[in-house]
Structure 1
Amino acid sequence: MTQKDEPLPTAKDAGRARLMDELRTASRRYMASYALFNQAVADHLRLHPTDLQCLNLLGLEEEPVTTGRVAELTGLTTGSATRLVDRLERSGHVTRERDTKDRRRVLVRTVPERMAEFGALWQRLNGAYTAMFDGYDDDEIALLIGYMRRTTELSAAQMERLRGGDLAL
């Protein structure tokens, strides 16, 4: 097909292109804003930002986990996950204990009092977010939930690609 034979872009195509450009810009600002917010919360708690998010993820787990699971949750190598758990243990946020069912395994358990402090801070911060979300109807909230779940899955896949060297610069 020659250039002459290609269909001309429609107003709908141009509108979509503008929206996609705006989405890319807004997405970059959103991700930067969240990363900087995460840094501010971590600084407030005197934690490394990765440690903060690890605590966040550990709080979502139903049971204590192995360091291998910490590596899976964070996408870190097992060596880096071990160092992360070491830092969290030194800061009093987690403890290590032998698995009563398999003495060879060591489990990482969050310290309830420290997690309560962590949760209280999130509660104070979440009030403003809850107020913001009050402006959305149920269908919009469902759309946001779907977006966040899909973004989480895509981010995990992209991190794996980056760590596996699948993306050349």
Structure 2
Amino acid sequence: MTQKDAPRHKAEGAGRAGLMGELRIASRRYMASYALFNQAVADHLRLHPTDLQCLNLLSLEPGPVTTGRIAELTGLTTGSATRLVDRLERSGHVTRERDTRDRRRVLVRLVPERMAEFGALWQRLNGPWTAMFDEYDDNEIALLIGHMQRTVELSAAQVERLRGGGPDL
């Protein structure tokens, strides 16, 4: 995207304070739109939104994981993660199996056929996002990747802070 193609901002000419105000509003709209989109996808798949995101995160793991790892990935307590796995097992998206190296450990494994359904839906939905990102140059894509990575880290820290319920809230 060239400078002349860059979107014009309402706060243009208003300086950094104006841009920061616009960023706060755009961020809130962005987060709300993502949450609503996630809810719509979850509804379509007849899943809870947290369950949908757990499947997303599990698909990024190199193999089966423990419920403790699911708790780490999602920021849930181990009890809540266990209930999440129970729901995913009932829906046929995961199975539980004993670890062959340590029979005391139970691993949660994705069911490939169910994940193929999940992947097929994402394939149908991905086209417009791919087209949108194709409009950006490599430097802009790198900026977006850095922003997303930092957002993931900050979000995890904020979840921990909120769940800790410390006096600094």
Unaligned runs of 5+ in 1: 1-12
Counterpart of 1:142 in structure 2 is: 142
Alignment partners' CA distance in 1, 2:113 and 2:91: 12
Task: Please name the residue that 2:65 is paired with.
Answer: 65
Contact 1:98 1:104 in 2 (8 A): yes
User: In the alignment, is residue 89 of structure 1 matched against residue 89 of structure 2?
Assistant: yes
What residue is the counterpart of 1:31 in the other structure? 31
**Cα deviations across residues 90-137 of structure 1 (Å, max 9, x unaligned)?**
000000000000000000000001111101111111111000111100
The one-letter code of the counterpart of 2:107 is L
The number of aligned residues is: 158
* Aligned residue type for 2:66: T
Task: Work out the CA distance in 1 between the residues paired with 2:83 and 2:163.
Answer: 18
Map of 1:43 onto structure 2: 43
Looking at structure 1, the residues matched to 156 and 167 of structure 2 have their Cα atoms a distance apart, in angstroms, of 14
SS of aligned partner of 2:100 = coil
Aligned to 2:5: none
- SS in structure 2 at match of 1:163: helix
Contact 1:67–1:108, Cα closer than 8 Å, also in 2: yes
Amino acid at match of 1:142: A
Structure 1 segments, 4+ long, off by >4 Å, are none
Matched AA of 2:142:
A
Distance in structure 2 (CA, Å) of the matches to 1:60 and 1:119: 12
Q: Which has the higher contact order (CA 8 A, sep 6+)?
A: 2
Tell me if structure 2 keeps the 8 A contact 1:161–1:167: no
Report the RMSD for the aligned CA atoms in angstroms: 1.5
What is the alpha-carbon distance in structure 1 between the residues aligned to residue 123 and residue 168 of structure 2? 41
SS across alignment from 1:95:
strand
Which protein shows a greater Rg? 1
List runs of 5+ in structure 2 lacking aligned partners.
Answer: 1-12
Percentage identity across paired residues of the two chains: 87
Provide Cα deviations, 1:146-167, integer angstroms capped at 9, x if missing partner. 0000000000000000000136
Q: SS at 1:62's partner residue?
A: coil
Q: Which moved more, 1:158-167 or 1:94-103?
A: 158-167
Amino acid at match of 1:146: G
Aligned to 2:78: 78
